[in-house]
Copies of this chain bind each other. A is one copy, B any other.
Amino acid sequence: MHKLKRYEKLADEISALIRQGVLAPNDRIPSVRQACQAYSVSPATVFKAYYLLEDRGLIQARERSGYYVREHVRQPLAEPAMQARQPGATEVDVSELVFSVLGSLRNPHTVPFGSAFPSADLFPLARLARSMGQSLRQLSPHAIIADQTDGNPELKRQIALRYMVSGVLLPMEELVITTGAMEALNLCLQAVTEPGDLVAIEAPAFYACLQVLERLKLKAVEMPVHPRDGIDLGSLEHSLANLPIKACWFMSSFQNPIGASLSEASKQRLSDLLHQHQVPLIEDDVYAELHYGFQPPRPLKSYDTQGLFMHCGSFSKCLAPGYRVGWVAGGRYTQKIAQLKLMTTISPSVPTQAAIADYLQHGGFDRHLRKLRQALEQQQQAMLAAAARHFPESTRVTRPEGGYFCGSNSPNRWTR
């Protein structure tokens, strides 16, 4: 993990103030001398922090006058309110709607607000291609067979290393490599539910979560999501106490679609609740690497002492879209998940696994991630500014601290 340097921490804190609107556009930020005094740091630290913020498009220098917050949002739009959900379980019937929305994307005059496909130009495709060439030259014929059942061992080692630095000490045997996170999420849900079971999900939820529940004939119990703080834990506590919930499917960080993140305290409480009721968690954490601040969020998985949480990740959002390589750290359900995978797709592409393993070893993943996070943060600001300029004043929008999304918190529209 990136060890947070003092100037990075400072830049991070000022970033947060700007994102939260404490520092408004055209506000002057503290001079270097003021900052040195106020934060007890050296001038070099302040300079480096301000250069970083400038580089990230958040502030600009004005000649002989100091640094100012850039005019990213003249009049910021308000944050949406959390919407109450009626308690109880409902069947899901959403697929036709989703497919009609996805189908509309073929119309080049449609601007797609709905799905998480960033520009492929943001990803190191040429460097990945070199890794693919390298790994195909080295791939032994024997590995072609072995990696289909067990997954590429170097890829698993690299993933386990990243877990280690984000605070999860994970035995490699807990990892199952999958055809993207979507397969991992599907397998986890099949591992712990039967048709007709109740599953706690977020409201609003990632649309594919609704589709998977529909496909597996599971019933949804909706947990309202606060636009900044994430799942409403009071609702969760009440539902766990009163309904036979068999699993939870939650995104702890930069939630799709509204971008909410749970605080550390909330993660602890949520974890305690699930342990108390012995309800397994499926943690969809595909945006974890896309934090705008320097500090990566801790996954809920890191609070799990009982193997009850399944943590699903992917390289599709942060490195290699289209390569279709994801994984799950399956806790006590690992063997069941691995068996289900062998019965459905057997294995993700072996060359693609090897290419990503090579890139993680030699390609400069952390350098790429820093650039990607900056680009996404700048795009968020441009989007918020454009929304403030062109959308009605009543528009509500969130300001997530990572990921792809600005959400506007409409409810799940699928209750029969």
The interface of chain A, by Cβ under 8 A from chain B, is: 95, 99, 102, 117, 119-121, 123, 125, 128-129, 132-133, 136-137, 139, 141-142, 144-145, 147-149, 179-180, 182-183, 186, 190, 195, 208, 211-212, 215, 321-325, 339-340, 342-352, 355
A119 touches B141 (CB 8 A): yes
Tell me the bound Cα distance from A212 to B212 in angstroms: 18
Q: Which residues of the partner chain B approach A102 to less than 8 Å between Cβ atoms?
A: 149, 342
| A95-B339, A339-B99, A351-B323 known; A182+B141 contact, CB < 8 A | no
Q: Which of B117, B141, B343, B348 lies in contact with A324, CB distance below 8 A? A: B348
Tell me the bound Cα distance from A278 to B183 in angstroms: 32
Known: A182-B343, A324-B349; 14 extra A-B contacts, CB below 8 A, are A121-B141, A129-B133, A129-B351, A133-B136, A145-B322, A147-B322, A182-B344, A182-B345, A215-B340, A324-B345, A324-B346, A344-B344, A351-B352, A351-B355
The chain B residue with its CB closest to the CB of A103 is B149
Q: Which residues of the partner chain B approach A350 to less than 8 Å between Cβ atoms?
A: 322-324
Tell me the bound Cα distance from A346 to B345 in angstroms: 12
Q: Which of B208, B343, B348 lies in contact with A179, CB distance below 8 A? A: B348
Can you name 21 A-B residue pairings with CB atoms under 8 Å? A95-B339, A95-B343, A99-B342, A120-B141, A120-B145, A123-B141, A125-B136, A128-B136, A129-B351, A144-B321, A147-B322, A179-B179, A182-B343, A182-B344, A182-B346, A186-B343, A211-B343, A322-B347, A322-B350, A349-B352, A351-B351
Tell me the bound Cα distance from A342 to B210 in angstroms: 13
Q: Which of B195, B208, B345 lies in contact with A195, CB distance below 8 A? A: B195
B345 touches A180 (CB 8 A): yes
Q: Which of B149, B321, B324 lies in contact with A145, CB distance below 8 A? A: B321
Q: Which residues of the partner chain B approach A123 to less than 8 Å between Cβ atoms?
A: 141
A21: min CB distance to chain B, Å: 33
B347 touches A324 (CB 8 A): yes
| A99-B339, A180-B345, A346-B180 known; A351+B141 contact, CB < 8 A | no
Q: Which 8 A-B pairs have the closest CB atoms?
A: A120-B141, A322-B350, A129-B136, A349-B349, A144-B322, A179-B345, A349-B352, A120-B144
